[in-house]
Structure 1
Amino acid sequence: MRIDIEKLRPDHIRDIQLQDPQSFLQSALTPEYAAELCAQTGVAWAAVADGRTIACAGLLEMWPGRAQGWALFSPAALGNFVGIHRMAKRVLCDCAWQRVEVMVDANHAAGVRWAERLGFTLEGRMRKYTSDGRDCLIYARVE
């Protein structure tokens, strides 16, 4: 399967079918949210396979020197993860921000492992962080 990396567009966000651990976010991916996310300062991309969006990710600038990382994955992305991981690692290594943070659902073991493989360090637990009351872990990568 050939994967193309494209600059993020609102239709990428609207079209992705999320993996089970992220499925609670699906209803929040409205056309308005997608347009707003694409308009933010930062860098964002989509992985597209056979015309289908299988992953979206990016870094949003919170203020100079600090960014927030995010990623959305479909089940198909998990079977093609090496290329997606390499892209994320390259973006992180090349970014201008001295601090990049990610929030990971405390119950999402694969998400925790990926954050750590990308070089993020656990900084703490945010209790009842999600809209349905689940805890998240905050990780940071500081250069």
Structure 2
Amino acid sequence: MKIIDFRPEHVLSIKPQACQQYLDLTIAYGEYLMTGNCFTGIHAGEVVAIGGLLPVSDGRAYLHMIVSEGMPHQWTKLYRAASRLIGAVRDDYDRIETLSITPEADRWLELLGFEYEGTLRRVMPGGTDAKSYSIVRQ
């Protein structure tokens, strides 16, 4: 996988995994993602991942990741890209937060240094629960 700078039109090319089918992948959404720091993962010429950090408020950001259905095993490269991004902006934020709905994402977030905070009940589309994770600057 090759990690490149994100462009809004990348959201039109990704075919998200089943648990992310609720996302409204439009150019407007891509432009919203551009308000933060974002990257794209390309494998065999196809967009297979889009991730980054979105500012929420002063001192607070949200980590997001869209992964394509059937993405080949490329988690190490995504980990490195996310880790570099978090490291580059860590001093800009007091808190970086995210949500997880799969055990695989839980493990990946913990490797990135996120700590589990609790479960948010019925917070996702369709009423699914999500686990809340964060990195809080000391």
Residues 68 and 103 (structure 1 numbering): CA distance in 2 closer, same or farther, change over 3 Å? same
Report the Cα offset of residue 102 of structure 1.
Answer: 0.4
User: Could you give the per-residue CA deviations for residues 68-116 of structure 1, whole angstroms, max 9, x where no partner exists?
Assistant: 01001124544122111111111112212121000112xx111111111
Aligned to 1:102: 98
Residues 73 and 97 (structure 1 numbering): CA distance in 2 closer, same or farther, change over 3 Å? same
Report the Cα offset of residue 32 of structure 1.
Answer: 2.3
Aligned partner of 1:4 among 2, 23, 46: 2
1:9-24 matched pairs, under 5 angstroms? 9-22=7-20, 24=21
Q: Runs of 5+ in structure 2 lacking a partner?
A: none
Answer yes or no: is 1:120 the counterpart of 2:114. yes
Amino acid aligned to 1:141 = I
TM-score by length of 2: 0.88
Aligned to 1:25: 22
Aligned to 1:69: 63
In the aligned structure 1, how far is the partner of 2:61 from the partner of 2:129?
Answer: 21
- C-alpha RMSD of the superposition: 1.6
Answer yes or no: is 1:37 the counterpart of 2:28. no
- In the alignment of these two chains, the number of paired residues is 135
Aligned to 2:86: 92
Identity of aligned residues (%): 29
In the aligned structure 1, how far is the partner of 2:19 from the partner of 2:125?
Answer: 14
Answer yes or no: is 1:83 the counterpart of 2:77. yes
Aligned to 2:41: 47
In the aligned structure 1, how far is the partner of 2:109 from the partner of 2:129?
Answer: 16
TM-score by length of 1: 0.85
Aligned to 1:140: 134
Amino acid aligned to 2:127 = G
Amino acid aligned to 2:107 = R
